[in-house]
Amino acid sequence: MKRTIHCAMALLLLGTCSASMSTVLAQQLTERPSSAKAYVYWTNSIDGTIGRATTAGGGAKEGFIKSGFPGGAGLTVDKKYIYWTGANGGTATDIARATLKGTAVNLSFITGAQNPCGVAVDKSYIYWAGDVGSAIGRAKLDGSGVNQNFITTGTGVCGVAVSKKYVYWANYQLGEIGRAKLDGSGANNNFIAGSGSGIAIERKYIYFTASSGTGIGRANIDGTGVNVNFITGLNGQIAFLAADKNYVYWADWGNRGSGTTIGRANIDGSGVNQSLVSGTNGGFGIAVTGGNP
C-alpha cells in the first residue's frame, strides 16, 4: 500500500515510476524536516517586551517584540497572531496583538477593559479577564463586537482559558476556578477550589497555579480529582501557565518581577526543569504554539 502511494506521487511529480524511485521518494518524504517550529512566548513584566524561544528552550530572544506594556500580563497565541494584555496594577485598559513574526504590533487592538489580566482565544473569539473589573470580556477575533461584560465573575479574576464547550477562569482572591458555557450561560464561580491566578487546559485536565505561586495543581476537566500538589517546590512566584500535548510551562515572576527563568515539566508532572530558559526580565504571562490558553 505504501509503495502504491509513493509510486503515485512519483508519477505525479516525475511522470514515471520504478521500485527504486518509489523507495527514494519514500526516504525523502520521511527525512524531510518540518517547516513549522513550535515556540514558547512570555511577557517580561519589567520592560513590557515579549520573549520567545523554541519549546526545547533554544534560540531565546528576550526582545522578540520590543514595543509592549510595562507590566504586561497575560498572553496567548493562535495560528496567526500573538495577543497580550496590559495589566499594570489597576489602570490598564488595552489588549495588544501582533503577527507570529512579531510584526504589525497594535497596542490598542481592544480598548476599554478593566486592567485586563489573562487572555485566551478559540477559533471565533478572544476572551479576557480584568482583575479590577467583575466580568469576562469577549470580542470577535478581528477585535470587533466587544462585550466587556460577557460573564459576571466578581473581582480578582486573572487567568482565563477556553475549551470546545466551556470558558474557565481563575479567581486569585477567592482561590477558585469558575466555569461557564461558551455562550456565557450557566456560570459557576466555584467550580474548583484551591487555585491561584493562572490556568491552562490540555485535553482531559485543567492545570492551575497553587501554593501561593510555588506550585501547580491539576484536576479532571469535569472538576473532579483535584490535586493542589501536582507539582511543588517551584522557585519564585508563578502567575500564569501554558500547556501543550507534551508539557506544562510557566514563567518565574519572582518577587514582583525579579524572576529570570521559564520552567517546564512533562504533562504528567514529571521531569521538572525550572531553567528551560534563563535571563528573562520578570517573566509573567506565557503561551505555547498549539497549546492553551
Q: Is residue 257 pLDDT above 60, yes or no?
A: yes
Q: Is residue 123 pLDDT above 50, yes or no?
A: yes
Q: Is residue 71 pLDDT above 80, yes or no?
A: no
The residue-averaged pLDDT of 26-38 equals 49
Per the prediction, the chain carries an average pLDDT of 88
Report d(CA 42, CA 287) in Å as an integer.
Answer: 6
Task: Give pTM, 2 decimals.
Answer: 0.87
Provide the 3-class DSSP secondary structure of residue 90: coil
List, in sequence order, every residue forming a beta bridge with 50; answer none if it has no partner. Answer: 43, 65
Q: Is residue 245 pLDDT above 60, yes or no?
A: yes
Report d(CA 9, CA 277) in Å as an integer.
Answer: 42
Of all residues in the chain, what percent carry a pLDDT higher than 70?
A: 87
Report d(CA 272, CA 232) in Å as an integer.
Answer: 10
Find the largest Cα–Cα distance for the chain.
Answer: 69
Q: Region of 179 please: left (phi>0), alpha (psi -120 to 50) or beta.
A: beta
Report d(CA 35, CA 3) in Å as an integer.
Answer: 25
- pLDDT tens track for 265-284: 999 999 999 999 999 999 99
Per-residue pLDDT band for 36 (boundaries 50, 70, 90) equals low
Give the model's pLDDT for residue 277.
98
Report d(CA 217, CA 226) in Å as an integer.
Answer: 7
Going by C-alpha positions, the residue among 187, 50, 175, 55 that lies closest to residue 119 is: 50
Instruction: Report residue 148: phi and psi, to 5°.
Output: -75, -10
Give the model's pLDDT for residue 256.
81
- pLDDT tens track for 156-200: 999 999 999 999 999 999 999 999 999 999 999 999 999 999 999
Report d(CA 150, CA 35) in Å as an integer.
Answer: 38
The grid cell for 134 is 467583575
Of all residues in the chain, what percent carry a pLDDT higher than 90?
A: 76
Going by C-alpha positions, the residue among 229, 237, 288 that lies closest to residue 264 is: 288
Give the model's pLDDT for residue 124.
97
Give the model's pLDDT for residue 87.
83
Q: Is residue 25 pLDDT above 50, yes or no?
A: no
